[in-house]
Structure 1
Amino acid sequence: MKIKNEMADWGLRSASYWMTLFIAVGIIIVGVRFILFPRVGAAGFGIPLSNNADLAFGRIKGIRDIFSGLALLPLLFFRMKKATAFVFTAAIIVPVTDCFLVYLNNGPDPSQLVPGITAVFMAITSFLLFMNTQKTIA
């Protein structure tokens, strides 16, 4: 079965594995920060909350971020490189959109650097994930 071969070829010795794990754990930490300290998280994001009614929006972003990280962990644990590559690549839309939204809200601002750099890092990681991915034929 190709899954077993793929598992043997990708894992702890792969840069793309660790890069993906870094993003997954990092976004979980960001999500926890948004849930526990929504004002701090939102200010760091670049769009501060304006009143107490906005706290729920910070927590909504936190849940989204935690889910994004957790969705990758089983794929990494089972060393499913191809599935990880597709899910991770689709997830690039999140930091790209975040960067764009911060720009629309603030204009050019240093707070755009984090989602912008994250998007570039994820694009590089996606490229590495798709490199040498074995083609499976049913």
Structure 2
Amino acid sequence: MKQQQFTWGPRTISFWMAALISLGITFIGIRYALQPLKASIAFGLSLPDGPTALYGSIKGIRDVFSGLTLAYLLYSRNVRATAFIFMFATCIPIVDASVVYQAHGFSNMPAFLIHSCTALYGIINSMLLFRDSKR
């Protein structure tokens, strides 16, 4: 009996988990670029109105870049590179949760939990991606 060759892509859960993050962070980046004040409130740290709100646009373009970079890795189907980049990028929601906690403690629990759960999601998918890279 012929053994089937493993191909990482749309038939794997790790691919779709990474795709969800790619779409999500791209959307968040576009929202920051277009509506930095509203997006910052959803993040858990509201920006003051005025020129300071432009920091949201800076964050936005970086988020769009991150999302599109991950989209390219998915397109190229390079599971090993995707695994490493995804693992490294998991530090972002960890730091985000820490910053929200430093600013508000647990008084802004929804924002803290969103960042913390995103970090956990990233850790889990990193493990799945590394597993898939060894198949």
After TM superposition, is the score higher than 0.5? Answer: yes
1:42 is aligned to 40
1:117 is aligned to 117
Counterpart residue type for residue 133 of structure 1: S
Aligned residues: 129
In the TM superposition, what whole-angstrom CA distance separates every residue of 1:12-44 from its partner, at most 9, and x where no partner exists? 100000000000110000010001000100000
Counterpart residue type for residue 76 of structure 1: L
Deviation at 1:73? 1.1
Gaps of at least 5 residues in structure 2 are none
* TM-align CA RMSD: 1.4
Deviation at 1:63? 1.0
Cα pair 2:37 2:49 within 8 Å, conserved: no
1:68 equivalent in alignment to 2:59: no
Cα pair 2:79 2:132 within 8 Å, conserved: no
Q: How far apart, CA to CA, are the structure 2 residues paired with 1:134 and 1:49?
A: 44
1:129 is aligned to 129
Counterpart residue type for residue 57 of structure 1: Y
In the TM superposition, what whole-angstrom CA distance separates every residue of 1:74-114 from its partner, at most 9, and x where no partner exists? 11001100000000100001111111001111111221111
Q: How far apart, CA to CA, are the structure 2 residues paired with 1:132 and 1:18?
A: 13
Deviation at 1:51? 2.7
1:82 partner SS: helix
Task: Could you list the structure 1 runs, at least 4 aligned residues long, displaced by more than 2 angstroms after superposition.
Answer: none
- Structure 1 residues 86-125: aligned runs within 5 Å: 86-108=84-106, 109-110=108-109, 111-125=111-125
Identity within the alignment, %: 39
In the superposition, the TM-score normalised over structure 2's length comes to: 0.91
1:52 is aligned to 50
